[in-house]
Chains A and B, each alone.
Chain A
Amino acid sequence: MVQSDLLHDYRVHREPYYHPQGDEIELFLAAYNRRLPVMVKGPTGCGKSRFVEYMAWKLGKPLLTVACNEDMTAADLVGRWLLDADGTRWQDGMLTLAARHGGICYLDEIVEARQDSAVVIHPLTDHRRQLPLDKKGELVHAHPDFQLVISYNPGYQSVMKDLKQSTKQRFTAFRFDYPSADVEAEILVRETGIDPDLAPRLIELAQSARRLKGHGLDEGISTRLLVYAASLMADGVTAARACRMALVDPLTDDDDIRATLEHAIDALFP
């Protein structure tokens, strides 16, 4: 098919490793079945992006990811005119690309985008599933395979950056948290090949730090950071060094918290 060629680069070819936290896989399939827009929420590094990637693979659809940031404009999503040797040429933005050819468009950290950029997704999220390209004078009707997924970390943003109600209320939501201790340990072992006896200790350390959230820490230790630490350890870096480098130093500069976590490292990894 022509379409699949166009989005070939965006296909997920190998099965990503994803360990479900609950029944989210079935529920996502159900949402996709009805092409409902999906929002995945949760603290940083808890597996949101991995989940979406896995679902794209499972559904066999291309995944077009846009990491949103403050400088991103509506044109980055929708598209713009470019210049080339024969004059001007229209280039589709990621959102248009996905809508036109039938992919899953994943807007990562949507709140980071400015609100006026964020509203361009609105017409795609209601029953019409259309995307007007004002500058080009075209109305794109979304491909039947198209689905919109956004991620959103409710934790650290200021009031300034919260999503508009009118945006929020266009999505079904999956609320993620860090996986339970057993699941998280298994993820570490599968992802990094760390010694299965050591993984639970890393998680104990992470949970210690997570209890300090709101008491001097803005965020606890994420699964992502645990994966970093575990992979260093799997490669032979000592636990103390790996933890300091991957779990303590990135997290905080508060001396008392650092001392507490370093003590926890010493107590957990003799």
Chain B
Amino acid sequence: MPCSPDSPRTPSERPDIESRTEDWRQRLDCAFDPVQSIFADCLTAAREQLGWAALAAYIDTARLLCKLGRGAEPVLAFLEGWPTVCQRLGPGSLDTVLSWVRNIQRTPNGDVLGAFFQALPATAASLGSRELLATYLDLLMEVAQQSSTSIHRRHAILPSRALPELIRIAPQLLKQVNLQGLREWARQGLRQHAKNPERQADYFAMRSADSRALFQSQRQGTLLRAHERQLDFYLRALWDDPVALISYSEAFDELRRPQPYADANGLHLPDLRVDRDGVSGLDQYRLTLAHLAAHRRFTQSLAADNVSPFQRVSIECLEDARIDTLVLQRFPGLRKPLLALHPRPEEEACNPARESCIRHRMTMLSRAILDPGHGYRDPVTRKFADLFHECLARDLSDTASMAELAKEYLVASRRPSDAFAHVYFIDTEVPYRDDNRHLWHFNDLDDESEQDMAAAPPANAPVSLVHHYPEWDYVSQSYLTDWVSLYEHLHPRGRAEDIEQLLHKHAGLVKRLEHILAQLTPQDRERLRRQEDGSELDLDWAVRSWLDQRCRRDPDTRINQSFRQVRRDLAVSLLLDLSASLGDPVQGSRSAQSVLSLAQEAVALLAWAIDRLGDPFAIAGFHSNTRHEARYWHIKGFSEAWREEPRARLAALEAAYSTRMGVALRHAGHYLSGQKKEKRLLLILTDGQPADIDVSDPDYLIADARQAVLELERDGILCHCISLDPHADNYVQKIFGKRFSIIDRVERLPERLPEIFLTLTA
């Protein structure tokens, strides 16, 4: 869905893409190099997701951030992350964010903006609505004010140390508690460690024991987020109605507790459900979904014009009772939790002389309909409960019949006090029901609102070339969410013939490889001799047995042979380091050949060999220019044949930038895990250790790469590194454990690479 109301693709607004990119660049007016370098890609991605107005606001905001004097980080993070946020929370959320940015700029905490925009997409995903975002920003402001060091209790002078920690960790925490819980936990921390910035920072980074303990105590009830997948299954499996689930919070609506509801965007449910009346939070969610799904299936909307408020209440009540009855007919096992949650108002509890009893009466009727053991004596209630069941039995089970019955009921039960201002509310809320907004339409409005229930939105998001990956921070032993932006491109093409020629150049080697391949090819069969039962007679042994028999010795009956197919069930992904150092000439060799061109030869040979074997394989290259710009060059996909196209791409390889290994491993692994093979092998060819210009700690990227390898292993993907760095043992081992080969003499790469592969998979 486009997130701004205007259509993102009307031709008049999107003339020539190229010239527009330059226009936008001018409008951005931001000289930071890294920003310039990613801008075009960000714009492409943003165009997919934003309408024109939202796009303009996006660029203008980036421009503003650029002029704030906080460096390139906030701009970069904003450019990368905002389209996703906008799509989730709506374009209106930009104002909410901007006003917070202005406020924080007035405090000494402006430097936190980079971290803030970095974490924003993940945070927004957890929060789920603009309203909650606003509340969250208030919380950040509160923490900023209470944890900044100040003079004379007036002017804050030193930035808060707690704030950046909170911003960084919030996305993770919000997966486990709702915003209310987070706020409670934060306030406790501020209170306990007031005036001690050091301690505060530890508390907010979850480094102190009390902080973890207090956080745990906030985790009560069932979070919608934690069960979303299961509830999606529930809707699909039991109701054949996979519709989006959207959460809202009950905690920040001070005036009125919102109810679940359905609209064109999906089903809106509270973010947290606490067990009650012996029904678990999860079962409460399911019951609400059952009720909503049954509405979607069985309710026909009514015209709201000329319906009095009282009529409305009673029609909704009977329609809800009908829906619940239909749910119970289909799933009788839900009767218990449903009746446990449905209130059972005391018959005499409401005094019609003093207060309006309309809600009380309606809830009693609903209970009487659903619960044969209701025990109410009121004759009107009993009569209408019976009429209701007759109605359903006579096949008058539709919304219109309920409306008729509801109007009759209203006439039969009317009291003068119904119109009193004071309405009796106790025990009249049915917690699993929704607010029935879908039940009504207004004839004098256009048709749009009427379509609400019917028009479920398609849940698929637009395609984007940008992927966000986490990175492992070994210092804090935690993931930095969405830390790296990876851009995926099709590698430009060169001349495919060049690759052909490389094979000719290595004709001798090709011959030798062919020999090895012949032993590995899948057609090859292994011969199993001396079998009791086999596919054919093994003549040698048969004759021997026959002789034995003639000589009256016991013949050996194992005279058959059979063949076993040696099946290779393997997918391979080859990842090439394309960092700048690959462009260097090979050291100590007389020719001026670069490492990269040797790698090309080696890969050409390897690809030829794998293609011969018939294993599916993919090839990609990678390099990076800070975490904002990791590039992934697609050279050959699993489904592509090893022909013209991919060869041409391989022929055009170029070296540049640095080596951010973890993200490339994760991305290659992502594709490889889609291959349904018994064995999945990820080969990475590199000439040095992971490094990037925005990282000073050499161990950081090594640890992240290690983590990526572990993640992949967990998913059944083996990583093997082929390193061209003779001094690599130390770090390569740290990353890949035992799975690596070091090639000391780079000139030998073309023969070694296929050999290594063949030994690995023989």
- List residues of A whose CB falls within 8 A of some B CB: 70-71, 73-76, 80-81, 83, 85, 87-88, 114, 135, 158, 160, 204, 208-209, 211-212, 215-216, 256-257, 259-261, 263-270
Cα-based distance from A109 to B407 in the complex (angstroms): 63
Question: Which 5 residue pairs across A and B have the least CB separation, nearest first?
Answer: A267-B331, A73-B535, A75-B535, A208-B237, A270-B333
Cα-based distance from A215 to B242 in the complex (angstroms): 11
Cα-based distance from A192 to B535 in the complex (angstroms): 41
Interface residues of B in 521-551 (CB under 8 A from A): 534-537, 542, 545-546, 549
Cα-based distance from A85 to B286 in the complex (angstroms): 72
Across-interface contacts of A259 in B (CB, < 8 A): 230
Given contacts A256-B230, A267-B238, 5 further A-B contacts (CB under 8 A): A73-B535, A73-B563, A74-B535, A83-B559, A267-B331
Across-interface contacts of A209 in B (CB, < 8 A): 237
- Whether A264 and B535, one on each chain, are in contact in the complex, defined by CB atoms closer than 8 angstroms, is no
Across-interface contacts of A85 in B (CB, < 8 A): 549
Cα-based distance from A114 to B567 in the complex (angstroms): 11
- Whether A135 and B233, one on each chain, are in contact in the complex, defined by CB atoms closer than 8 angstroms, is no
- Whether B565 and A114, one on each chain, are in contact in the complex, defined by CB atoms closer than 8 angstroms, is yes
> Separation in Å of the A182 CB from the closest CB of chain B?
17
> Separation in Å of the A115 CB from the closest CB of chain B?
10
> Separation in Å of the A263 CB from the closest CB of chain B?
6
- Whether A73 and B562, one on each chain, are in contact in the complex, defined by CB atoms closer than 8 angstroms, is yes
Q: 1/0 contact trace for B510-525 toward A, CB 8 Å?
A: 0000000000000000
Cα-based distance from A267 to B287 in the complex (angstroms): 10
> Separation in Å of the B297 CB from the closest CB of chain A?
14
- Whether B537 and A270, one on each chain, are in contact in the complex, defined by CB atoms closer than 8 angstroms, is no
Tell me whether A83 and B555 are in contact in the complex, defined as CB-CB below 8 angstroms, given that A114-B565, A260-B233 are known contacts: yes
Cα-based distance from A260 to B676 in the complex (angstroms): 26
Interface-centre pick from A70, A209, A263, A268 (highest chain B CB count, 10 A): A263
Cα-based distance from A154 to B545 in the complex (angstroms): 45
- Whether B563 and A256, one on each chain, are in contact in the complex, defined by CB atoms closer than 8 angstroms, is no
Tell me whether A80 and B333 are in contact in the complex, defined as CB-CB below 8 angstroms, given that A211-B240, A256-B233, A263-B234 are known contacts: no
Some 15 contacts from A to B, beta carbons below 8 A apart, are: A70-B565, A80-B534, A80-B535, A80-B536, A81-B536, A83-B546, A88-B546, A160-B569, A211-B240, A259-B230, A260-B238, A261-B237, A267-B238, A269-B332, A270-B335
Across-interface contacts of A265 in B (CB, < 8 A): 333
- Whether B237 and A260, one on each chain, are in contact in the complex, defined by CB atoms closer than 8 angstroms, is yes
> Separation in Å of the A214 CB from the closest CB of chain B?
10
Cα-based distance from A215 to B237 in the complex (angstroms): 10
Q: 1/0 contact trace for B183-221 toward A, CB 8 Å?
A: 000000000000000000000000000000000000000
> Separation in Å of the B403 CB from the closest CB of chain A?
29
Tell me whether A216 and B233 are in contact in the complex, defined as CB-CB below 8 angstroms, given that A73-B562, A80-B537, A81-B537 are known contacts: yes
Cα-based distance from A158 to B676 in the complex (angstroms): 8
Cα-based distance from A212 to B230 in the complex (angstroms): 12
- Whether B332 and A270, one on each chain, are in contact in the complex, defined by CB atoms closer than 8 angstroms, is yes
- Whether A76 and B286, one on each chain, are in contact in the complex, defined by CB atoms closer than 8 angstroms, is no
Among candidates A76, A81, A212, residue contacting B237 with C-beta atoms closer than 8 Å: A212
Across-interface contacts of B535 in A (CB, < 8 A): 73-76, 80
Among candidates B236, B333, B534, B565, residue contacting A212 with C-beta atoms closer than 8 Å: B236
> Separation in Å of the A121 CB from the closest CB of chain B?
16
Tell me whether A260 and B234 are in contact in the complex, defined as CB-CB below 8 angstroms, given that A80-B535, A88-B537, A135-B536 are known contacts: yes
> Separation in Å of the B127 CB from the closest CB of chain A?
23
Q: Is B560 an interface residue (CB 8 A)?
A: yes
A270, closest chain B residue (CB): B333
Cα-based distance from A75 to B561 in the complex (angstroms): 11
Q: 1/0 contact trace for B702-744 toward A, CB 8 Å?
A: 0000000000000000000000000000000000000000000
- Whether B236 and A211, one on each chain, are in contact in the complex, defined by CB atoms closer than 8 angstroms, is yes
Q: Is B336 an interface residue (CB 8 A)?
A: yes
Interface residues of B in 324-367 (CB under 8 A from A): 330-336
> Separation in Å of the A81 CB from the closest CB of chain B?
5
Cα-based distance from A56 to B565 in the complex (angstroms): 34
> Separation in Å of the B244 CB from the closest CB of chain A?
15
Among candidates B237, B559, B565, residue contacting A211 with C-beta atoms closer than 8 Å: B237
Across-interface contacts of B333 in A (CB, < 8 A): 265-270
Across-interface contacts of B560 in A (CB, < 8 A): 80
- Whether B542 and A215, one on each chain, are in contact in the complex, defined by CB atoms closer than 8 angstroms, is no
Q: Is B37 an interface residue (CB 8 A)?
A: no
Tell me whether A208 and B555 are in contact in the complex, defined as CB-CB below 8 angstroms, given that A266-B333, A268-B333 are known contacts: no
B556, closest chain A residue (CB): A83
> Separation in Å of the A112 CB from the closest CB of chain B?
13
Cα-based distance from A257 to B230 in the complex (angstroms): 7
- Whether B537 and A268, one on each chain, are in contact in the complex, defined by CB atoms closer than 8 angstroms, is no
Cα-based distance from A211 to B236 in the complex (angstroms): 7
Cα-based distance from A263 to B235 in the complex (angstroms): 12
Across-interface contacts of A83 in B (CB, < 8 A): 542, 545-546, 555, 557, 559
> Separation in Å of the A210 CB from the closest CB of chain B?
9
Cα-based distance from A147 to B531 in the complex (angstroms): 32
Q: Is B229 an interface residue (CB 8 A)?
A: yes
Q: 1/0 contact trace for B258-299 toward A, CB 8 Å?
A: 000000000000000000000000010010000000000000
Across-interface contacts of A261 in B (CB, < 8 A): 237
Interface-centre pick from B240, B283, B331, B559 (highest chain A CB count, 10 A): B331
Interface-centre pick from B233, B331, B537 (highest chain A CB count, 10 A): B233
Cα-based distance from A259 to B334 in the complex (angstroms): 15
- Whether B565 and A256, one on each chain, are in contact in the complex, defined by CB atoms closer than 8 angstroms, is no
Across-interface contacts of B233 in A (CB, < 8 A): 212, 215-216, 256-257, 260
Cα-based distance from A5 to B331 in the complex (angstroms): 55
Cα-based distance from A265 to B286 in the complex (angstroms): 14
Across-interface contacts of B565 in A (CB, < 8 A): 70, 114
Cα-based distance from A257 to B236 in the complex (angstroms): 11
Across-interface contacts of A212 in B (CB, < 8 A): 233, 236-237
> Separation in Å of the B609 CB from the closest CB of chain A?
20
B227, closest chain A residue (CB): A256
> Separation in Å of the B464 CB from the closest CB of chain A?
23
Cα-based distance from A267 to B283 in the complex (angstroms): 11
Cα-based distance from A208 to B237 in the complex (angstroms): 4
Cα-based distance from A266 to B234 in the complex (angstroms): 13
Across-interface contacts of B236 in A (CB, < 8 A): 211-212, 215
Cα-based distance from A167 to B283 in the complex (angstroms): 51
Cα-based distance from A70 to B546 in the complex (angstroms): 31
Tell me whether A268 and B331 are in contact in the complex, defined as CB-CB below 8 angstroms, given that A83-B545, A87-B546, A263-B286 are known contacts: yes
Across-interface contacts of B331 in A (CB, < 8 A): 264, 267-268
> Separation in Å of the A93 CB from the closest CB of chain B?
10
A115, closest chain B residue (CB): B565
Across-interface contacts of A80 in B (CB, < 8 A): 534-537, 560
